[in-house]
Chain A
């Protein structure tokens, strides 16, 4: 048990708590009120009950954005975790230059997502963009990356995967490196199959870290906005609008503030469920 000094330490935590109350909790409470209001010309105009929430169920565009968001979450979380795990296993050995490679692989994490979207516009350019030229050499025809809904979905997933695979990679690598060598030495006596060791020893020991990665990746994928905004502007049509994108459009372009706030609360509910699962799992770390 760590020792703690006995005096009162309120002065240390109060500024931060005050800040969160002012700039997060107060806006959230206010937003809840907006979500229960009728809005006319950008101004609150009376109580609307749950009608903004009920409107979501009948809005096909809402379901469309929710569907796209879920597709993005599913593809991006699975792909980044799988590729990241594969890379982490490969990099988990003593080798020259490991730290340099690891550093290079973390670069995408600190690149502005909105810039990556525009970078993607260059890479996925249909007439003679580098990716389509490469595919032409491989014998494929011109791929309509940004003008066909399915390909545009894939393009957004690919950019997201490019940016976030390093996230899974370095965290899982840290997890692998914390598994002690003696466990492996003991395992080698019992079996010679590398797969058996991975399946029955590495994976169970890694599962808490794997859980962290998957939960944090899910939350970030649910929040996605920058890449669809810059890469496809939500198009073609509205095929690649995420929930955040739709909330932004409804609330801050069409000034339908009540409805947008209701949808924002829906998104908040999803991410908070993930947050609660995360905390229940890692409670003791935050003791």
Chain B
């Protein structure tokens, strides 16, 4: 292990100072949003940060939100869940098949590497480059303001990611198990479904969760393709400011509803995050 020999107590203390600062730096905005959502308006601008000591927490913001704007928020959450669930499942289904193909077969005509690069290049594609044609396409198909449109979009963005991650995962499984299954009379398809897929299940779940977060957080296409019926949470919070000015006590409740699901889900997939974020270029 890399240990500095000199001044080990000092380095130990310095390390912990850095760690504590980093953690506070990350957690403070979340903390601030949580306490703001439990503050009375007067306390928001009096700047108080410790509940019970500096201000009396109240549930009234949450109650007002859910009674007055309940249907809108419920619709936003429902839309976000439906869009993110279907998009991530579809993306991972397509991605798992292609990832398995790339890991186990040698393609002569297109070459595996070219195909992998083709999928990788989607990661470098700016959403702005496809948002205008997508808008025109959805308009002509009559799919504007539908969840279907956003499911298609988010599947498109998440799928190349799923392909490359699953390709890596299948590469790491021993091919012998599948070969043995083939010898025993399984078809290729059965070997994939019965042997490879169950072994890759943890990675599969992690990929679904990461794709779910991407889809949940997507904003540009949701802004362009939806306006009323199909608006997800990211649009609901964006609509807040114009109607409510600086009513941070309400804004913060909605921010929390939009932020928490993917942020908490992501805590469960730590093992796969490094690979996920680099499209398999760095093994974590």
Contacts and interface: CB of A to CB of B under 8 A. Distances in A.
Contact of B255 (A101, A118, A175): A118
Contact of A105 (B22, B101, B115, B120): B22
Contacts of A108: 26
A194 interface: yes
A17 B117 CA distance: 12
Interface residues of A, number: 105
Contacts of B36: 122
B137 interface: yes
Nearest to B12: A95
Contacts of A101: 19, 22-23
A187 to B, nearest CB: 10
Given A103-B267, A114-B234, A285-B281, A16 B23 contact: no
Contacts of A2: 171, 175
Q: Which of B33, B156, B278 has the most CB of A within 10 A?
A: B278
A226 B266 contact: no
A87 B22 contact: yes
Nearest to A212: B281
Interface in A234-287: 243-244, 247-248, 251-252, 257, 260-261, 264-265, 267-268, 271-272, 274-275, 278-279, 282-283, 285-287
A98 B258 CA distance: 28
Contact of B127 (A133, A170, A223, A282): A223
Interface of A: 2-13, 15-17, 19-20, 23-24, 26-28, 30-31, 34, 86-87, 90-95, 99, 101-116, 118-119, 121-123, 125, 127-128, 130, 133, 162, 166-167, 170-171, 174-175, 178, 181, 184, 194, 209, 212, 216, 219, 222-223, 225-226, 229-230, 243-244, 247-248, 251-252, 257, 260-261, 264-265, 267-268, 271-272, 274-275, 278-279, 282-283, 285-287
Interface of B: 1-4, 15, 18-19, 22-23, 25-27, 29-30, 32-33, 36, 45-47, 49, 94-95, 97-98, 100-102, 104-107, 112-113, 115-137, 152-153, 155-156, 159-160, 163-164, 171, 175, 178-179, 182, 188, 213, 216-217, 219-220, 223-224, 233-234, 237-238, 240-241, 246, 248, 251-252, 255, 258-259, 262-263, 265-267, 270, 273-274, 277-278, 280-284
